[in-house]
Structure 1
Amino acid sequence: MSSVYRAFLPDDAAQLAELESRACAHGWSAAQYQDSVRCGHQFHGLFAAGRLQGFAVTQSVLDEAELLNIVMDPQWQGQGLGKRLLRELIAALAAAGARRLFLEVRAGNAVARALYSSQGFIENGRRKNYYPCADGREDAILMETDL
C-alpha cells in the first residue's frame, strides 16, 4: 500500500490522541491536540487509502522550526514510514524557509534517537527529569539539525 505525505488540519483531535495512546504510554490528550490546532501548529501526515498512518506536529518561528510531536500508528511501525514522514516534513519545512529544526526526545527512546541521528540531528542539551515514565521521570534529550 502506497503512502502519501501531506500537510493537514485535523478535524478530530480525539482521533489523534487515540492513535497516540496506542503508540506510547504518555501521549498528548485530545485537549492538547485541540490547543495545538488553535495555536496554529502545522500538522504533517502519511496517509494510505485515506487512512492516517502517522503524523507530526511542528511549529515555525521565522527560519526555525520545532518538531513538537511525531507518532506512527503501531501497526505501521518498523516499516520505514517514520523515517519517510520525518524526511518529508524536513523537506516541507525547508521549502517553507526553515533553516534549522529542533526537537526533544525521551532519553530512553533508543529507536527514535537512532532515527533522528540517522537524519543528521545532533544532541545539543538535556532536560533532567522532564518526562513522566513508569519509574518516575526520565530526561529529555534536545537535538537539532540544519535544513
Structure 2
Amino acid sequence: MNAALHECGVGRFRTMLYADLGEILSIEKRAHAFAWTDSILRDCIRASYRCRVLENPHSFIQAYGVMSAAAGEAHILNLSVRPELQGRGLARRMLDHLLELARAAEVQTVFLEVRPSNGRAVRLYTSAGFCEIGLRLGYYPAARGREDALVMAKEL
C-alpha cells in the first residue's frame, strides 16, 4: 500500500448516513467555494442515490461521493476529499468505488460535470478514461458570475 495512504489511515467504504452530514458539510464548505447544502445532501440520501463515504478505521471521513444511477446511465454528482488529505489518491479510490457501483447496477455510461478551472479533477477523470463530450455554459456559480462545466462521459 502507498505510504501516504497508509499514513492517512485509509479504511473502508460505506453508505452515507444522515448522522454523517455534519462532518460532510464541514468538509464540503472547506473543499468548495460554493458548497452543497444540508438539504441537497439529505435529498440525495432520501432519493436512494449511491451516497458513499471513505472512512479510516477510526470512523474519520476522508472522502465522499454521490452518484445517481437509472436506466443504464449513472451521473457522478459530487466527489470530494477532505482538503488536508487531497493529493494522496483518495479521489481516485472514491472514483473507482463509484465506478464499481455503476458496473454492479449494470450501467453502460457514466456522466459527470467538472469545472474547467479544476485541473486536478479534470486530470483525474481523464486518466480514468472519461472523455469530454460537451460544455454546459454558465453551469456553476463563480466568484464573478458563472463558470462553464465540462461534461465528461465514460463507457463501462
How many angstroms does 1:4 deviate by?
Answer: 3.0
Decide whether the 8 Å contact of 1:5 with 1:44 is kept in 2: no
- Which residue number in structure 2 is paired with residue 130 of structure 1? 139
SS of 2:18's equivalent in the other structure is coil
- Give 1 or 2: higher strand fraction: 1
- Which residue number in structure 2 is paired with residue 3 of structure 1? 10
Deviations 1:32-82 (A, max 9, x none): 111111222111221112211001000011221100111100111011111
- Which residue number in structure 1 is paired with residue 3 of structure 2? none
Deviations 1:6-55 (A, max 9, x none): 24032233332221101111010111111111222111221112211001
Structure 2 distance, partners of 1:91, 1:28, is 24
Matched, 1:36 2:61: no
User: Residue type matched to 2:133 in 1?
Assistant: N
2:149 to 136, 140, 143: 140
- Which residue number in structure 1 is paired with residue 119 of structure 2? 110
List structure 1 runs of 4+ shifted beyond 3 angstroms: none
Gaps in structure 1 of 5+ consecutive residues? none
1:101 to 97, 100, 110: 110
- Which residue number in structure 2 is paired with residue 73 of structure 1? 82
SS of 1:131's equivalent in the other structure is strand
Cα distance 1:7–1:60, how it changes in 2: closer, same or farther (>3 A)?
A: farther
Q: State the Cα RMSD in Å.
A: 1.3
What TM-score, normalized by structure 1, do the two folds share? 0.93
Matched, 1:121 2:150: no
Decide whether the 8 Å contact of 1:5 with 1:88 is kept in 2: no
Gaps in structure 2 of 5+ consecutive residues? 1-5
Decide whether the 8 Å contact of 2:44 with 2:51 is kept in 1: no
SS of 1:45's equivalent in the other structure is strand
Q: Percent identity?
A: 34
Structure 2 distance, partners of 1:73, 1:9, is 15
Decide whether the 8 Å contact of 1:41 with 1:57 is kept in 2: yes
Decide whether the 8 Å contact of 2:16 with 2:53 is kept in 1: no
How many pairs were matched up?
147
- 97-106 vs 36-45, greater mean Cα deviation: 36-45
